[in-house]
Amino acid sequence: MKLLSGTSNKPLSKDIAKYLKSKLVHSSIRNFADGEIYVELNENIRGNSIFIIQSISSPANDNLMELLLCIDALKRSSAKNITAVVPYFGYARQDRKVVPRTSISAKLVSNLITKAGADRVVTVDLHAGQIQGFFDIPVDNLFSTPIFARHIKKNIKSKNIVCIAPDVGGTERARALGRILNVGLAIVDKRRPKPGQSQVMNVIGEVKGKTCIIVDDIIDSGGTIVNAAKALKNRGAKEVYVYITHGVLSGDAIKKIKNSVIKNLVITDTIDNKNKTKGAKNVEVLSISALMGEAIKRISNSTSVSDLFK
């Protein structure tokens, strides 16, 4: 088994390699003058099972193309099998036609990864679980819930906690965390008047006097979370904590979080955004490397991945 890293999240790849006491395949990934990507593997990988680690984070198009070229290079170098390890699976939010005449990018990206030559995909907190069905190869969708639950148990001492889904789509995720913490659930009824804008219509469930823990898969512009936190406070919530797997953090998201009623935002390192989070006092980053490393080890040894979440 060997690990190859793309350029989107080298620190995470290194941490996964460290967990597995392994080294990253020596490679050169460069750009031609016009921006085209060039991938070269500088060591023999013939007959090896290879895990290529690359998040489809910003710049999403470049990082996606780099992933495809890495898979292609591995295939042409006679790897025995190729697992695309995609900590953050970008383009997953467009997973159905919400209005007529739109594309379904999650399906297209699934097709591209498979067509390029991947035999398996490992990812974390897919935007919607059913995207696994867009692939005709095995997909292991890992969950950050156990990492978050551990952090909450250690750091939040309140006895009056409620888990919050910031929109109806996040209900299953919030319920899963609530089950581990043995607490109840409330749901924010969010509408999107247009892409990039969110509006809270209502809060379903009891939040008055409670410690609210919002859980979601993605924080992008920060609008969803900041508005949800404000709505919870307006309805009498005692305090609001936020746990989100993928810190996309576009534009002035960090500034919005800093100036919000949110006590603490916890994200993972599926996306490398150290530069954005540096100095932000109410933002904390937890590493997903041990979980991903353990999943890779289990896939490699053909043992159960789901046991990790029991």
Which residues make up the interface to ligand R5P (CB under 6 A)?
Answer: 93, 166-167, 169-170, 198, 216-224
Kindly tell me which of 152 and 226 has the beta carbon lying closer to ligand R5P. 226
Q: Contact at 8 Å (CB) between 3 and 26?
A: no
Kindly tell me which of 83 and 260 has the beta carbon lying closer to ligand R5P. 260
Kindly tell me which of 51 and 243 has the beta carbon lying closer to ligand R5P. 243
**What is the DSSP code (8-state) at residue 169?**
G
| Residue 258 falls in the annotated catalytic set | no
In whole angstroms, the minimum distance from the beta carbon of 148 to ligand R5P comes to 15
Burial of 67 (0-12, 13-18, 19+ CB in 10 A): buried
In whole angstroms, the minimum distance from the beta carbon of 221 to ligand R5P comes to 3
d(CA 259, CA 250): 16
Q: Does residue 65 sit in helix, strand or coil?
A: helix
User: Furthest-apart CA pair in the chain: how many Å?
Assistant: 61
In whole angstroms, the minimum distance from the beta carbon of 177 to ligand R5P comes to 14
Q: Which amino acid is at 98?
A: V
Structure token pair of residue 82: 């190729």
Kindly tell me which of 132 and 221 has the beta carbon lying closer to ligand R5P. 221
Q: Which listed residue (18, 23, 75, 190) is catalytic? A: 190
d(CA 167, CA 232): 13
Q: Which amino acid is at 131?
A: I
In whole angstroms, the minimum distance from the beta carbon of 178 to ligand R5P comes to 17
Catalytic residue annotation = 190
